[in-house]
Amino acid sequence: MNRRDHDEAHADSATQTAKLREPRRIILMITDFGTVSERLIHALEREFPWVVIEQVEHVAAACKVFFHPVSLILVGPRLLDEAEARAAELLRLHPQALAAVIELSDDDLLLSSANVSRSPLVRSLLPMNLRLDVWLSVVRLMLCGGEYLPPALILRSRQNGHSAVPPLENGARATLVASADPRMAGLTARELQILEMVSRGLQNKIIAAEIRLSENTVKIHLHNIITKLGAHNRTEAAARFRSLQERH
């Protein structure tokens, strides 16, 4: 075996090892074929060998249970309204998924951000004009439950005379607030969403009903939140979050 064959065999072996080590998860693209280029899809498959890419051109095709859990839903701009109309169904079928709208250019960043702030489904923007390594880093963040808004959005809002980006609600707002605290930043998007609701005084059963989870699942999330923050109870965890809100 020559050196090139040896290197390729080693790479294949490393890929197979990664696949075995990581649980399989799905990136679900609800968009016209071609919106995400074949080059980017191949880059995703190389960077995240444990990820399965599923592409559908109709929202109805995304409203089903897949063989592996869906971790990230990417919605094309043309299908965003339809996806939001079926947000409850998508969130029920894919409870572990963070959803992001694909942003094809910088021209509509502020409009897209306003849409995100009101959206029952999407919590992030995924720009398509980033350098490949940066783009993959943003996808990695989203796969881990983190939310993302482009820095260009903040710059543009300042240029237009705004002090900040349009106000974000629930999970998106919580992520921006929590980014100022290292421990808070370690929480997943779902955990931040629940902590934000706890900070408003909502009971577990109300939280469960609003985000379509069982009350027991909410309790599990709260246990993880308290453990990650090193807090003694939910009251202390909520107080920390409110303190961050008041400073931002």
CA gap 73, 112 in Å, rounded:
16
For position 164, what pLDDT does the model report? 36
CA-wise closest residue to 99 among 113, 89, 115, 87: 87
Task: Spell out the domains of the chain, with CATH numbers in brackets.
Answer: 3-159 (3.40.50.2300), 170-247 (1.10.10.10)
**Closest CA relative to residue 168, chosen from 191, 193, 185:** 193
Higher pLDDT, 163 or 81: 81
Tokens standing for residue 97: 């998924």
Per-residue pLDDT tens digits for 90-122: 989 998 888 999 987 755 554 455 566 667 788
Please determine, for residue 234, whether its predicted confidence score (pLDDT) is greater than 50.
Answer: yes
What pLDDT digit, counting tens, does each position of 158-217 carry? 455 543 334 444 444 455 555 556 667 677 878 888 888 888 877 888 888 778 788 888
Phi, psi (degrees; rounded to nearest 5) at 128: -100, 0
- Mean pLDDT, to the nearest integer, of 138-158? 71
pLDDT at 43 over 50: yes
Asked if residue 129 has pLDDT above 90, the reply is: no
Cα of 244 vs its chain's centroid, Å: 21
Q: Say if residue 45's pLDDT is above 90.
A: yes
Residue the block writes with tokens 């989870």: 213
The residues pairing with 98 across neighbouring beta strands, listed in sequence order, are 72
Q: Which residue from 37, 19, 27 is spatially nearest to 138, judged by alpha carbons?
A: 27
* Residue 46 CB neighbours (<10 A): 11
